[in-house]
Amino acid sequence: MTERRETGRRTPRPGARRPGKAPRKPTPKLGAEAPGERIAKYLARAGVASRRACETLIEEGKVTIDGRKVKTPAEKVTGREDIRVGGLEIAAPERARIWRYHKPAGLITTNSDPAGRRTVFDELPKSLPRTVTIGRLDLNTEGLLLLTNDGGLARALELPGNDMVRTYRARAFGRVDAGKLAKLASGITVDGERFGKIEAELEQETGANSWLRVSLTEGKKREVRRALEAVGLQVNRLIRISYGPFELGELKPGAVEEVPANLIEDALPGDMLSKARRTSEKPRKSPRGPARSRLGKPRR
């Protein structure tokens, strides 16, 4: 065994910091990706501004990490750094949250309107944190509109590939028959735009109008109205009653209610939640099967 020698000047250990010199950064392995998430996305999730606006703040030199100016919105952070915008410290984003909102007809789903029309954000309680909508409902459509504080989760829930079924009750003028429903089920092209499979079933007839239950996964602009009009059914009332596993339930028009965190975990795939990069995540529970009806009602 080699004897360790003690002298007045020790030979530095490999990788040890020498006095007066900055520590050497480890050389990243080929193909390895830096941990964390992009600073622009992190700031957007923290409620600073939209991601694009955060990128502008970075370009203007207003964002610092541990005292140095950020040069690119692609730089990654873990949340353990001292992150500031305009000298103000930014708190770490909170966990992803979802609210159910019963949107009344006559409101537009946008932050502001040049024509001065009322928006959903004009009507939401001021006590809510900064939120974004998951998808949209047009001016005259009412019913379930989901809100979240996490833009990444909103985008994940909007993607057609995630098969989030949107279900509506539609009152339409015109006669419903099997041929019209079959056309919708096989997909239909309207004004050069192709709509995928739309499941529609007749619920009841009331004079010249009919109530239908309509389900689809795409959520293109005015898709339900345009598709039904293409088969001779003029929609005069449209109510969204569910979005994926989340239901309108008995929520009153204009009311907003947060979905409990445990119900979100039960209902959504784990990989979808991990993409939202929640900062206070608890260990995921095992799925308990369909949670569809439970998410429309508060747990007693």
Please list, in sequence order, all residues whose beta carbon lies within 8 angstroms of the beta carbon of residue 117, skipping any fewer than 6 positions away. 107, 108, 139
Catalytic residue among 82, 138, 163, 177: 138
138 is catalytic: yes
φ/ψ region of 237 (left if φ > 0, alpha if ψ in -120 to 50, else beta) reads: beta
- From start to end of the chain, where are the E strands? 37-38, 63-65, 68-69, 76-77, 83-85, 88-89, 98-103, 132-134, 142-148, 166-173, 188-190, 193-195, 199-206, 209-216, 234-243, 246-247, 256-258
Q: What are the tokens at 294?
A: 């439970």
User: CA–CA distance from 1 to each of 4, 22, 49 (Å)?
Assistant: 9, 34, 62
End-to-end CA distance of the chain: 70
Phi, psi of 135 (to 5 degrees): 75, -170
Q: What is the torsional sign of CA 266, 269, 273, 274?
A: positive
Contact at 8 Å (CB) between 75 and 65?
yes
CB atoms within 10 A of CB 243: 23
CA dihedral 54, 58, 63, 69 (to 10 degrees): 160
Q: Give 34's strand partners.
A: none
- Rounded distance between C-alpha atoms, residue 56 and residue 46, angstroms: 16
Contact at 8 Å (CB) between 93 and 77?
no
> Hey, which residues are catalytic here?
138
